[in-house]
Amino acid sequence: MSRGRLRVYLGAAPGVGKTYAMLGEGRRARERGRDVVVGLVETHGRPRTAGLLDTMEVLPRKRVFYRGASFTELDVEAVIARAPRLALIDELAHTNVPGSRNVKRWQDIDEILDAGIDVISTVNIQHLESVNDVVQEITGIPQRETVPDEVVRRADQVELVDMAPEALRRRMAHGNVYAPEKVDAALSNYFRVGNLTALRELALLWVAGKVDDQLDRYRADHGIATTWEARERVVVALTGGPEGDTLVRRAARIAARTKGADLLAVHVTSADGLAGGDPANLSRQRTLAESMGATYHQVVGDDIPRALLDFARGVNATQLVLGASRRGRFAQVFSRGVGVETTARSGSIDVHMITHEEAKKGRRRPQRTRAALTRERRLSGWAMAVAGMPALTALLWPFRDDLSLPSEILFFLLMTVGVALAGGMWPAITAAVGGSLLLNFFFTPPVGQFTIDDPENFFALVVFVLVAAAVSTIVDLAARRTREAASATADAELLSTLAGHVLRGGAALPSLLARMRETFGLACVTLLERVGEPGPDDQSEPESWRILATSGGPPCAAPGMADTDVVISESLVLAARGRLLAAADRRVLEAFAAEAAVALRQERLQEQAERAGPLAEADKMRTALLAAVSHDLRTPLASAKAAVESLRSTEIDWSPQDREELLDTAGQSLIRLDRLVANLLDMSRLQAGVLGVSSQPMALEEVVPRAMDDLGPLRERVEGDLSIELPEIAADPALLERVLVNLMTNAVRYSPAGAKVLVTASRHGGSVEIRVIDRGPGIPPEAHDRVFLPFQRLGDRDNHAGVGLGLALSRGLAEAMGGTLTPDETPGGGLTMILRMPIAS
């Protein structure tokens, strides 16, 4: 059985018409003769959406019971048993009620697809996992129901249901999305024009990325290697030379000319891994490219033009940015160079050759590296060349009449190869020249003279010298390559280690400097930052520099006091003292310096984030406060105002009973308003850390009845069961009473009608536990901590239930008095709030 196909309607916000479009497509499919059923659709009370269900087959939902309440969910078994050709299932990101077949609805849909049934579903952009945090930052509202992006990307078809923000707001104003009493609050909060515009852009960009993936898959399946200019992609090639900064900035400007263009930086390394650009330059240029929104890539290839073009065509690039050749004119006579060769092979890709200050200055000659062989081996080679050749001559002299010249040449060649293996190229060449002279004088007729009678003997000696020179050169090159490979491996291990130090977080910079000092055997390593503007003679002035971090002995106070200094930027210098470093070591040190700059930037960004965190929390608190109290302040004020104005009216003769009822309404509204304002003031004092707490020994038998009396009419729904043998606790009487009132009020609000809230207390070790027990719907364990967030209501209930401040304030007050407040499940269903207070000493 083949797997069913999934089609998803993606929207930027609720109300754009995803469900309507899904039902419309279902009706059209049914008219074409397909077997279509509605597995689950949420109409949200919208008449036009509900009207599309009139003539369609709707499967009954499955009823799930949880914590004494009844819920309905998608009946997966019923859909699979019905086996339609197409099933319509709304809200892909929905979280099922605990106890359901699967945790998420997308998992239900996955089972239905495995049964060979096609599915059409819907989802909003804010529910995609990858953009969840971005949406929360834009709207200020966390989305707790999410779906992995991969689930939607695997869909066979994703269709965007788009609507302009102004059009969506008009729909809301006409009552086509939410009930009339919720329209004003929605338009002034989540559905602001700015929010909707940002969400719309997110949806468009996500769908564009999905289209890019489909295009890449199509080109790969059909073997299409040519570039399709569906979207601008600019690739900049970096060699690790000093011109790389110029190329990155120019490529960024080219990409910025087209909105939405992608920028990619690429560096080509040779297959042997021994040759490459300056690691310090590459690290700096990578950081620069990523700061401009580019992605950095590294590919391997000996043919650089081919490797560049293969990468560019692989990412469907439209433009390639290269630097003008740094080689001189004489070198360009023998080879066209990477730029010219790449341009000739580029085909439909536009190639930009960017001039720079390093153009045609010639490549910098590499620093002379250490000898390929050790000093001991070179000395042994010279000894074999100087003493070995005469010794071989003396050994062969008695057999000169029995051996032919070619045999004697082979013995001398064998000795030359041995010298090459032991001492390298120059001792072997010396041995070859000396051997040829000895062969000429002692073994080539006429013997005893440096003359040769037979031309064949002359050519034999020449070939001997050439072969000996070639063998010695190859041996020396192999030894040099071996040492370079070992050095490259060591450098790679060092660079991997330093990258790991940066990724470890907080202590990355001190640890990195310590690693640097140990690696190069330095006395101290110091990171310096310039103070003020650069001066002409400030390199040796400690007053012009500030020490950011140091490792080792007494720090270098200025770059001029160091044995080696590496300039990271105009204001940052790495100073090392202890010994002078070789050129090869300095390249690795420059890479260390570049990573030290990255670590410093990470530390400073972390410090800024820590400073901004409290400000962001305070701003979030203010935003939530304004959103939450907009209704709760207005409702009691409006009720009290209406009651007072009715009493003042002279047009109506109120009966004593009516007057009493109006006065009671006004009184209750003002009490509610007073409690709300008191909670807000206490929460603000808690946030500011200025809440005054006066703890003293007190008996629960005194404070609990007072708290129950403060409940007013709700008092009858609370029952106390306190032991008279409880010890006194240490608490602030007024604050403890506030905590108990909030807990009991919350418990009564969510308890079923007729069910009483029970308040008990017992001693446990050095504390007394006060339990407020209700028989309401309760909350799942994963939401226990969430109920204590200010201005949060579990399940996103409407504002008629209060601002969601009571539990947050209660926990804050309890902790201020040295206690704790935690939730627990009530056996048989419900929620138990446990208040632990210390026993008075």
77-113 burial, b for 16+ CB within 10 Å, e for fewer?
A: eebbeeebebbbbbbbbbebbeebebebbbebbbebb
Q: How many CA atoms lie within 13 A of 22 on its CB side?
A: 35
Angular region, 599: left φ>0, alpha ψ -120 to 50, beta rest = alpha
Across 503-527, average pLDDT: 75
pLDDT at position 820 is: 93
Which of 13-27, 295-309, 328-342, 539-553 shows the lowest per-residue confidence on average (mean pLDDT)? 328-342
d(Cα 711, Cα 677) in Å, to the nearest integer? 17
d(Cα 746, Cα 163) in Å, to the nearest integer? 41
Whole-model pTM over 0.75: no
Cβ proximity of 530 and 568 under 8 Å:
no
Sheet strands (E) in 99-253:
118-124, 157-161, 233-238
Whether pLDDT at 334 is above 60: no
d(Cα 524, Cα 522) in Å, to the nearest integer? 6
Write out the H or E segment, with its range, that includes residue 698. strand 696-698
Bridge partner list, 51: none
Return the higher-pLDDT residue of 532 and 748.
748
Whether pLDDT at 386 is above 80: yes
Across 156-177, average pLDDT: 89
Whether pLDDT at 502 is above 70: no
Distance of CA 640 to the CA centre of its chain: 52
pLDDT at position 797 is: 40
Mention every residue, 6+ apart, whose C-beta is less than 8 A from residue 28.
none
Across 193-197, average pLDDT: 90
Residue labelled with tokens 């990255």:
598
Which of 245-254, 278-287, 415-424, 613-622 shows the lowest per-residue confidence on average (mean pLDDT)? 613-622
What are the C-alpha distances in Å from 131 to residues 189, 201, 211, 377, 616? 19, 12, 18, 63, 19
| Omega prior to 445 cis, within 30 of 0 | no
Residue 727's closest CA among 758, 748, 698, 685? 698
Summarize pLDDT for 279-293 with one digit per residue, the tens. Answer: 778 878 888 888 888
Residue 311's closest CA among 277, 345, 283? 345
Backbone angles phi, psi at 541, to 5 degrees: -105, 110
Alpha helices in 257-400 (DSSP H): 279-291, 304-314, 329-334, 338-345, 375-383, 389-396
Mention every residue, 6+ apart, whose C-beta is less than 8 A from residue 661.
none
Whether pLDDT at 365 is above 60: no
Residue 359 pLDDT class (50, 70, 90 cuts):
low
Residue 746's closest CA among 828, 812, 830? 830
Q: Please report, as a single letter, which amino acid is at residue 50.
A: A
Which of 4-8, 180-184, 503-507, 530-534 shows the lowest per-residue confidence on average (mean pLDDT)? 503-507
Backbone angles phi, psi at 698, to 5 degrees: -155, 155
Whether pLDDT at 427 is above 80: yes
d(Cα 225, Cα 315) in Å, to the nearest integer? 10
Summarize pLDDT for 317-331 with one digit per residue, the tens. Answer: 889 999 887 665 555
pLDDT at position 774 is: 92
Across 558-575, average pLDDT: 85
Across 525-529, average pLDDT: 91
820-825 vs 233-238, strand pairing mode:
unpaired
Return the higher-pLDDT residue of 446 and 35.
35
Q: How many CA atoms lie within 13 A of 781 on its CB side?
A: 2
What are the C-alpha distances in Å from 837 to residues 203, 693, 721, 745, 813? 50, 14, 17, 20, 11
pLDDT at position 612 is: 80
d(Cα 789, Cα 807) in Å, to the nearest integer? 8
Cβ proximity of 551 and 510 under 8 Å:
yes
Token couple for 537 = 């003679």
Whether pLDDT at 678 is above 60: yes
d(Cα 320, Cα 237) in Å, to the nearest integer? 8
Summarize pLDDT for 117-157 with one digit per residue, the tens. Answer: 999 999 999 999 888 888 888 888 878 888 998 899 889 99
Summarize pLDDT for 756-806 with one digit per residue, the tens. Answer: 999 999 888 889 999 999 988 888 887 777 777 755 544 444 333 444 456
